[in-house]
Amino acid sequence: MSIDWKGVFPAVTTQVREDLSIDVADTQRVVDDLIRDGVTGVIALGTVGENNSLEFDEKVEVLTGIVEAVAGRVPVITGVSEYDVRRASRWAQQAEKIGADGLMLLPPMVYVPQPHELVAHFKGVADSTGLPIMLYNNPPAYRTQITAQVLEALVDVKNIVAVKESAPDSRRFTDVKNACGDRFVLFAGLDDVALEGLYLGAQGWVSGLTNAFPRESVELVNAFQRGDHAKALEIYRWFMPLLHLDAEHDLVQSIKLAEQVMGRGSERVLPPRQPLVGARRAEVIAMVEKAAATRPVLADPVVA
């Protein structure tokens, strides 16, 4: 499937059983529900999918299950989050065999590369696969900045086509546009600057809280794209307390707990993470329940 790089691509959760084994069937159900609620693509095995808590064979199991569940209805993009080029290229090639439509490529994990090392990492993975690639810039989480200069060094790498921008400074969208023009499709990647990203040139949104409120997420982007800025702003302001969770270190636990409150998934997470407890858990539950009780009026969903 060719990817139309626009719309709402939730970073989907990986569902696990009480013994922390992978629950492929429930992961497939969660993904199917999101597609039926109108999302335009899915990101498997991103941060929210707990990529780095999974063994290689578990990643194969999860991605295979998601590709089967999606059945060509929307593009499937998989996270590539590895220590080095060899491991990242191995996963990229495996994902291509499984049937992923694209890759979301992160900087090397743990080691903080110099700009030329980052360019070499991205080029090395891109050379190993024919799949289109979205780079993932998230300096608060991964301590690495994909600078405009790095992107300029990658303009000739044909299968690097998009950038997920998760820096909290929305000026980044304009800086990248000024440096690279329309060479890379931009996606908003941090939930609580998503609308700002759309106004500054992002064509879509890779979202975490969409897992709990997919219809509202889809309508936010649709309203913006059709020029109904009042509706987009209404949804965004309603959503913002929850969207802030995406910028916290416990975002995975919070998003999975929000899924559970909304009857969409389980709060169980893989080590080293643990489910939220105490006051923090109560706070997130209260936020989700308030959002559910005050959700904006939407048009009827498109069922895939």
Catalytic positions, written as ranges? 136, 164
φ/ψ of residue 186, rounded to 5: -100, 140
CA–CA dist 24, 134 (Å, integer): 25
Residue 259's φ and ψ, nearest 5 degrees, are -55, -45
Sheet with 160-165, strands from edge to edge, namely: 7-10, 204-207, 185-188, 160-165, 133-137, 102-105, 76-80, 42-44
Token pair, residue 202, equals: 């992002």
Long-range contacts of 146-150 (CB under 8 A, 24+ apart): 146/107, 146/118, 147/115, 148/175, 148/176, 148/178, 148/179, 148/180, 149/115, 149/179, 150/115, 150/118, 150/119, 150/122
